[in-house]
Structure 1
Amino acid sequence: MARMSHVIVVIPSLNAAPSLPDTFAGLEPAIACGLISRWVLADGGSGDASVKLARARGFDVVKSPPGRGVQLAAGAARAMESAGEGGWLLFLHADTRLEAGWAKAVKAFMAEHGNGDVAGYFQFALDDDSAPARRLERFVAWRCAVFALPYGDQGLLIPAQLYERLGGYRLMRLFEDVELVRRIGKRRLKPLPARAVTSAERFRSEGYLRRSAANLVLLARYFLGADPEKLARAYSGRRA
């Protein structure tokens, strides 16, 4: 008999050792209570201690070529081996920490929606108390409410069977999260009453306005049909 109402966590990583301990710590209470049955780290060739840290915490480590979509697909393939009929997948970035109380929210969400065609995402938050951070959080909340467009740094909780029916993540280095949630569709995307706190380091170092504007330009180019590989190079600061 398939195990019901359990979650398998999938985290893509690439030289993420500084942020992983906080990410792991946010998940451990859900392991202790039995909500999380397994966790998978899909590593894209880290040269730091990411893999060592993950294995020390009991992660199943999958080696993958670099690229978030490629890594997520590889991690999901491993997770699906033990998902069963009642399994859910929780995709989470390596620099994102789920705040206390998230497990209760996830349990309630799964109980309400069973194993149907609904996926959930967390409220976007940054580890920065500044006014620009609060403005960006409000903008993301508006974007999700109006366009049903959560990004990967908000996590994605999805029934394994729905993920499989949709065909999973595409092997893209950028906007793999947008591509998947568009296939899920607004009707099947629901917000979770819990926050996912992501590092604001890139916004602080590049400037909130500059980084936000650059992200919007990249998103517009993606919707207009630009090659995601070129967009990924632009996002990383290289010539597109």
Structure 2
Amino acid sequence: MTTFSTQTGDLAIIVPTLNEAGGIDACLRALQPLRARGAELIVVDGGSCDATRTLAAPLASRLVIAEAGRARQMNAGARHSAARRLVFLHADTRLPPDAERCIAVALSGAHRWGRFDIRLSGRHPGLKVIGTAMNLRSRLTGIATGDQALFMTREAFDAVGGFPEQPLMEDIEMSRRLKRLSPPACLRERVESSGRRWERHGVWRTILLMWRLRWRYWRGAAPERLAEAYRDVR
């Protein structure tokens, strides 16, 4: 594993990447105001074969090269930071401008972890419904998805042993484990996430796929089997 560092901070924003050259520049530039206010911006690349690393290096506080796999990459990013608060951000998701304040306030009381509400960007009218349903479901179940920018204290991350290094549903399993420590802080402030994967594969088709996979996961199906099914359909 290779790492290049330029700063540390109280909040670490950890972005796992794999062949994100088309969007990583915009992602990291949107985070520069947070970085200027002291947030540490860690990009963890899982072996991109495009220009992701070249584009990311000058805009990140730290570039880490790790074994591919979102959970592995996020864990590697956390290990390379001493920040007291961690937020895990997908490369196609944008944090609200005052994210560091929102997270600090949310974690200042009984909550040890949380997530933001989500807005899905795109043309399909169903995306607004999907985002609303995701937010409601998360509030009712206490389960968050990676698209909602999971954040937590360092102590909570360490207490559950980091993200489970499984190929799918790592965010669901992480939420389950974190719920044993505290309920999530479900923030009304919104992240904006790209709806491109929903539109590319069909909005309702993608919804049905994810429902089927989650149902099988709740019934005890192995994440490896679910990842195979996910790849076959996609």
TM-score scaled by length of structure 1: 0.87
Work out the CA distance in 1 between the residues paired with 2:170 and 2:70.
7
Question: Partner residue of 1:233?
Answer: 228
Contact 1:8 1:40 (C-alpha < 8 Å) held by counterparts = yes
CA-based RMSD: 1.9
Q: CA deviation at 1:123?
A: 0.8
Which amino acid letter does the alignment assign opposite residue 220 of structure 1?
A: W
Q: Which consecutive unaligned segments of at least 5 residues does structure 1 have? A: none
Stretch deviating more after TM superposition (41-50 or 96-105): 96-105
Deviations 1:123-168 (A, max 9, x none): 1111125320111011101211111111001111101011101111
Runs of 4+ in 1 over 6 A off after TM superposition: none
Determine the C-alpha separation between the residues in 2 that align with 1:181 and 1:168. Answer: 11
Whole-Å Cα distance in 2 between the matches of residues 43 and 52 of structure 1?
A: 11
Rounded to whole Å, the distance in 1 between the matches of 2:30 and 2:142 is: 26
Q: Structure 1 residues 129 and 108, CA, compared in 2 at 3 Å: closer, same or farther?
A: farther
Say if 1:73 and 1:107 are closer, same or farther in 2 by CA, change over 3 A: closer
5+ long unaligned stretches in structure 2: 1-8
Q: Residue 198 of structure 2 aligns to a residue in which SS?
A: helix
Among all aligned residue pairs of Structure 1 and Structure 2, give the percentage whose two residues are the same amino acid: 30
For the residues of structure 2 that align with 1:9 and 1:100, how far apart are their CA atoms?
Answer: 13
Could you tell me whether the CA contact under 8 Å between 1:26 and 1:99 is conserved in 2? no
Counterpart mapping for 1:1-240 below 5 A: 6-34=10-38, 36=39, 38-79=40-81, 82-83=82-83, 87-110=84-107, 112-113=108-109, 118-185=112-179, 187-237=182-232
Deviations 1:161-185 (A, max 9, x none): 1110111111111111110111111
2 CA distance for matches of 1:49 and 1:129? 28
Tell me, in whole angstroms, the C-alpha distance in 2 between the residues paired with 1:129 and 1:101. Answer: 27
Q: Work out the CA distance in 2 between the residues paired with 1:62 and 1:146.
A: 36
Distance 1:205 1:47 in 2: 22
Once the two structures are TM-superposed, the CA of residue 65 in structure 1 deviates from its matched residue by: 2.0
Indicate if the aligned counterparts of 2:42 and 2:60 stay in contact, CA closer than 8 A. no
Whether the 8 Å contact between 1:172 and 1:228 is mirrored in structure 2 is yes
**Secondary structure of 1:204's aligned partner:** helix
- Per the alignment, do residues 175 and 220 of structure 1 end up closer, same or farther by CA in structure 2, a change over 3 Å counting? same
**Distance change (3 Å), C-alpha of 1:89 and 1:68:** same
Q: 1:42-96: CA deviations, max 9, x gaps?
A: 21110111111221113322222221112112222222xx23xxx1011111111
What TM-score, normalized to structure 2?
A: 0.89
In structure 2, C-alpha distance between the alignment counterparts of 1:9 and 1:236, rounded to whole Å: 28
Paired positions, count: 225
